[in-house]
Amino acid sequence: MLAIIGGTGMTQLANLEITHRQVIRTPYGEPSGPLTFGRIKHHNVVFLARHGYGHTIPPHEINYRANIWALSSQKVKRIVAVASVGGIAAALKPGALAVPDQLIDYTYGRKFTFFEGGEKPVTHIDFTEPYSDKLRQRILKAAHAAQVAVSDGGIYAATQGPRLETAAEINRLERDGATMVGMTGMPEAALARELGIEYAALAVVANHAAGREPQGSAIDMAAIHAVLTGAMEQVRNVLEYVVDHDAD
């Protein structure tokens, strides 16, 4: 089954025919909220709002382990993670969509692995390619079928939040090779890999990253909300095509 994790701007799926919601108890505490089960184009889908259904959980306080474990407990095999980002690369302007193929983790203090505790053996996972290429290609093909422009590839810089970055920090991220910046990409991707779940991200560019705004203006929070509201319609269109080509 396919799961969709919604980020800022997507606390619900308008095109999801909801069948039921389920509260999941996990060994790692409470997930961000109940899992919402339903169907899109006659395919079973489960949805989870990453920040909670009232968008009340900041990035650094999300219980990523509980979220991923809860989805895995429901036999989820693939996760499409929708996330808002700031555009660092010039081509990633507000409203653009991208499917990153690499990431750099700058977060700290988060519970980032299932493999800990004295009773568990030391376990390493291959994270050379942090996103499932098979699922990435499915998203790209879905975007093409939906006639939605999507950038293929990009390097996601995962920062701690909840504050936005300084212009100097963005310059540093760019020197490191990052093309977009967000706050929720890690440890979500790594946890999915640990549990053997295919994972890919559909990034929505909400704003120019700090220092990249035209004429050096400050980031406008109201403008971010307006951009996300408009872009989420395109995201839903892409997701419909992703789901329509998914095997339950």
| For residue 248, pLDDT beyond 60 | no
Average pLDDT over residues 150-164: 96
| For residue 247, pLDDT beyond 70 | no
209 has binding-site annotation: yes
Q: Which pLDDT value is given to residue 244?
A: 81
The C-alpha torsion from 137 through 143 and 145 to 146, rounded to 10°, is: 160
166 has binding-site annotation: no
| For residue 181, pLDDT beyond 90 | yes
Characterize 24-55 residue by residue with b for buried, 16 or more Cβ atoms within 10 angstroms of its Cβ, and e for exposed. Answer: bebebeebbbebbbbebeebebbbbbbbbbeb
14 has binding-site annotation: no
State the DSSP string of 61-130.
G--HHHHHHHHHHTT--EEEEEEEEEE-STT--TT-EEE-SEEEE---SS---S--STTS-------SS-
Q: Which of 9-18, 121-130, 239-248 has the lowest mean pLDDT?
A: 9-18
Tell which wins on pLDDT, 19 or 68. 68
Percent of the chain with pLDDT over 70: 94
229 has binding-site annotation: no
Q: Which pLDDT value is given to residue 8?
A: 65
Hey, is 132 helix, strand or coil?
Answer: coil
State the DSSP string of 9-25.
T-SS-TT-EEEEEE---
Average pLDDT over residues 40-62: 91
The greatest distance separating any two alpha carbons of the chain, rounded to the nearest whole angstrom, comes to 56
Q: Which pLDDT value is given to residue 116?
A: 85
Angle at which helices 221-244 and 133-145 pack, to 10 degrees?
100
| For residue 139, pLDDT beyond 70 | yes
Q: Which pLDDT value is given to residue 125?
A: 92
Closest to 112 in 3D by CA, of 177, 193, 179, 51: 193
In order of their start, the domains of the chain are 2-244 (3.40.50.1580)
51 has binding-site annotation: yes
Q: Which pLDDT value is given to residue 220?
A: 77
| For residue 52, pLDDT beyond 80 | yes
C-beta separation of 49 from 65 below 8 A: no
Average pLDDT over residues 64-85: 96
183 has binding-site annotation: yes
Hey, is 157 helix, strand or coil?
Answer: strand
| For residue 189, pLDDT beyond 80 | yes
In tens, the pLDDT along 222-238 reads: 788 888 888 888 998 99
Average pLDDT over residues 134-161: 96
10 has binding-site annotation: no
Tell which wins on pLDDT, 171 or 215. 171
C-beta separation of 84 from 7 below 8 A: yes
| For residue 246, pLDDT beyond 70 | no
d(CA 30, CA 33): 7
207 has binding-site annotation: yes
pTM: 0.92
Characterize 166-184 residue by residue with b for buried, 16 or more Cβ atoms within 10 angstroms of its Cβ, and e for exposed. Answer: eeebbbebbeeebbbbbbb
